[in-house]
């Protein structure tokens, strides 16, 4: 494609499929796995020169990237809708907005975030030293991205990577090749050096080739199953990694919550992008005293949602990405019903709309024995469990191996914050859901089966750099007291120094002279 940052080397093509219709809309060149090592070498050459540029210049180019994206916003949204199936409003808010905001954040804040920092020394032994932290680029990072947010996820990682002075090889999803090609085109049109940001097109074989090409760090977004293989491959090469492997996010609704607002949040948090979101509400715990009214409101609002292709302005629920995902929803619901859960609304495929459509579903009586509470759903199912009180809600919310995000709903902000501290998650929102991903300063990530490391904000930027400590000693003509020669005299002096440094006031007074003698001793 014209304007691509790197020339793609391919042996065949990848189809761009519209999940709403199942039609193949276009074909894109597939990257040959054997070519990845060469692309890595070119990216390394480009990165060496890029890292020499002042941070102000790098941030200025990111500012140009933002303008390029803003001008292309309609075309970008169209591509996201065509390949992911989500409603166009969601493409604009969740993909285009997040990409633009990430660019604006690092264009404006990159210099400050990467500025060298002085290190203050508290120890007497280090008072004559001047310490500085430097944030240096790693080199070339490898990014293996996901299809559900085909712009927001890769752009929120590529942008801080280049701001930090790195080169990037990014394998976008083979479900969204047009979006991947557009990302490469954006960086080219914004004026970034050729081959600094290279888009790889393909499936798992290209991801494997990327890891084998030995980038300086690997960032992966995807399933637990694939993430384990990525982690193993990185471990074999001692490559550091950041993994975002999804969640089983809990929503806790307390009796004092605004039920109208909370039910609207539950509906949007469960069904946005047809539930294909790592931050989706996948386990909903509501206090018993308000459960009946809360469920009634959720069902009422779910019934009003309009299903259809994302290109229709009236659509609120689009298709799932592929037919096998529809079958997965059927299997999860069948397992839950067989174990005692009740489908209150929905629960059916909609072949009349297309092979990938599945109704937004409200299901109650769900418990931890069911796959709906064990495995990541990644679909439009609101699974509700009634609990006695907040204590039970927190206990059940934490009863999972995932730990990505959660939310608490209450009119008492202090109580909400107290419960947030007790929930096992990388992000907890009080009286909001999912939008933390769209806050540029907020780190994104979790632990357990949700992976490790962070993206977004300063925490994510620090994953993109080598933190170097530089120490300058101002007593350049003085030998250090802990150097050779050893002996009983130094051993005794060291004991006095420890008492002076770490003891109370009396110990400091008693050992001050001996401590000074230690500092001034002769060596040879």
Task: Give the span between the Cα atoms of 273 and 81, in whole angstroms.
Answer: 10
For residues 364 and 266, the answer to whether their CB atoms sit within 8 Å is no
The C-alpha atoms of residue 299 and residue 282 are separated, in whole angstroms, by 16
In percent, the amount of the chain with pLDDT more than 70 equals 97
Q: Where in the chain is the domain with CATH 3.40.309.10?
A: 250-438
Question: Residue 293 — pLDDT band, cuts 50, 70, 90?
Answer: very high
| 129 contacts 471 by C-beta, under 8 angstroms | yes
Could you please report the per-residue DSSP string of 156-180?
HHHHHHHHTT-EEEEEE-TT-HHHH
Residue 120 reports pLDDT greater than 50: yes
Q: By C-alpha distance, which of 179, 86, 148 is closest to 378?
A: 148
Structural contact between residues 466 and 446, judged by C-beta atoms closer than 8 angstroms: no
What is residue 283's predicted lDDT score, i.e. its pLDDT? 98
- CA nearest to 415, candidates 390, 437, 433: 390
Q: Is the pLDDT of residue 127 over 90?
A: no
User: Can you tell me the mean pLDDT for 54-74?
Assistant: 98
Domain with CATH 3.40.605.10 in the chain: 36-245+458-468
For residue 401, what pLDDT is reported? 96
Q: Does residue 301 contact residue 267 with C-beta atoms inside 8 Å?
A: yes
Better-scored residue on pLDDT, 520 or 282:
282
Confidence band, pLDDT 50/70/90 cuts, at residue 514: confident
Q: Is the pLDDT of residue 6 over 50?
A: no
- Across the beta sheet with 117-119, the strand order is 117-119, 129-137, 465-473
Per residue in 66-80, pLDDT (tens digit) is: 999 999 999 999 999
Kindly indicate the confidence band of residue 435, based on its pLDDT and cuts at 50, 70 and 90. Answer: very high
pLDDT band at 10 (very low <50, low <70, confident <90, very high): very low
Look at residues 179, 196, 178 and name the one whose alpha carbon lies nearest to residue 187: 196
Q: What is the per-residue pLDDT across 365-412, written as a single tens digit (0 to 9) for each?
A: 999 999 999 999 999 999 999 999 999 999 999 999 999 999 999 999
Beta-strand runs (E) in 369-484: 381-387, 402-403, 405-409, 427-430, 447-448, 451-452, 465-473
What pLDDT was estimated at residue 523?
63
Architecture in CATH of 250-438: 3-Layer(aba) Sandwich (3.40)
Is there a catalytic annotation at residue 278?
yes
pLDDT at 313 over 70: yes
pLDDT at 1: 37
pLDDT score recorded for residue 490: 85
CATH class of the domain at 36-245+458-468: alpha beta
Could you tell me the pLDDT band of residue 5, with boundaries at 50, 70 and 90? Answer: very low
Of the residues 278, 282, 359, 463, which is catalytic?
Answer: 278
Instruction: Identify the pLDDT of residue 4.
Output: 37
Average pLDDT of the chain to the nearest whole number: 95
162 has pLDDT over 90: yes
Whether 441 shows a pLDDT value over 80: the answer reads yes
Query: Can you tell me which residue has the tokens 């089966």?
Result: 449
Q: Which of 104, 189, 195, 244 is catalytic?
A: 244
* Residue labelled with tokens 């929905």: 346
The radius of gyration computed from the CA coordinates of the chain, to the nearest angstrom, equals: 27
370 contact partners, CB below 8 Å, separation of at least 6: 335, 336, 339, 341
CA–CA dist 340, 343 (Å, integer): 10
* Strand pairing report for 197-201 and 167-172: parallel
Q: Give me the percent of the chain exceeding a pLDDT of 90.
A: 89
* pLDDT, position 62: 98
Please give the pLDDT value at position 7: 38
The DSSP result for 393-426, as a single string, is HHHHHT-SSEESEEEEE-S-HHHHHHHHHHS-SS
């Amino acid at each position: 494609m014209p304007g691509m940052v790197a020339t793609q080397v391919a042996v065949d093509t990848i189809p761009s499929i519209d999940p709403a219709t199942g039609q193949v809309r276009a074909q894109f060149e597939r990257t040959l796995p054997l070519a990845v090592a060469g692309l890595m070498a070119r990216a390394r050459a480009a990165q060496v020169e890029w890292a020499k540029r002042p941070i102000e210049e790098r941030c200025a180019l990111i500012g140009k990237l933002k303008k390029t994206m803003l001008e292309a916003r309609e075309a970008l949204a169209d591509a996201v809708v065509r390949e992911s199936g989500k409603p166009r409003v969601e493409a604009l808010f969740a993909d285009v907005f997040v990409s633009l905001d990430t660019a604006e954040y690092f264009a404006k804040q990159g210099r400050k975030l990467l500025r060298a920092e002085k290190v203050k020394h508290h120890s007497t032994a280090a008072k004559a030293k001047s310490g500085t932290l430097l944030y240096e680029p790693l080199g070339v990072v490898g990014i293996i991205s996901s299809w559900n947010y085909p712009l927001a996820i890769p752009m929120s990682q590529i942008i801080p990577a280049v701001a930090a002075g790195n080169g990037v090889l990014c394998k976008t999803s083979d479900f969204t090749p047009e979006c991947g090609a557009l990302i490469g085109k954006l960086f080219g049109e914004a004026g970034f050096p050729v081959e600094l940001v290279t888009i790889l097109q393909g499936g798992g074989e290209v991801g494997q080739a990327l890891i084998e090409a030995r980038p300086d760090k690997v960032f992966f977004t995807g399933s637990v199953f694939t993430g384990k293989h990525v982690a193993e491959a990185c471990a074999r090469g001692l490559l550091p990694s950041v993994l975002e492997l999804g969640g089983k996010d809990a929503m806790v609704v307390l009796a004092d919550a605004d039920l109208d607002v909370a039910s609207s949040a539950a509906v949007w948090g469960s069904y946005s992008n047809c539930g294909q979101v790592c931050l989706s509400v996948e386990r909903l715990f509501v206090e018993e005293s308000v459960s009946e009214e809360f469920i009634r409101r959720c069902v009422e609002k779910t019934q009003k949602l309009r299903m259809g292709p994302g290109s229709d302005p009236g659509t609120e629920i689009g298709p799932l990405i592929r037919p096998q995902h529809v079958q997965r929803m059927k299997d999860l619901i069948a397992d839950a019903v067989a174990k005692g859960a009740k489908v209150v609304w929905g629960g059916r495929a909609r072949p009349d709309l297309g092979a990938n459509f599945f109704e937004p579903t409200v299901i109650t009586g769900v418990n931890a024995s069911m796959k709906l509470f064990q495995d990541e759903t990644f679909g439009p199912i609101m699974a509700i469990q009634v609990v006695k009180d907040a204590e039970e809600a927190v206990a059940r919310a934490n009863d999972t191996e995932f730990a990505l995000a959660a939310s608490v709903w209450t009119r008492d902000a202090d109580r909400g914050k107290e419960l947030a501290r007790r929930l096992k998650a990388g992000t907890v929102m009080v009286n909001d859901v999912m939008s933390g991903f769209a806050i540029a300063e907020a780190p994104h990530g979790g632990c357990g089966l949700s992976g490790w490391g962070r993206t977004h904000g300063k925490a994510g930027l620090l994953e993109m750099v080598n933190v170097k400590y530089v120490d300058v000693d101002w007593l350049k003509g003085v030998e250090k007291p802990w150097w050779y020669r050893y002996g009983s005299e130094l051993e005794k002096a060291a004991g006095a120094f420890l008492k002076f440094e770490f003891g109370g006031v009396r110990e400091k007074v008693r050992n001050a002279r001996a401590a000074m003698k230690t500092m001034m001793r002769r060596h040879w």
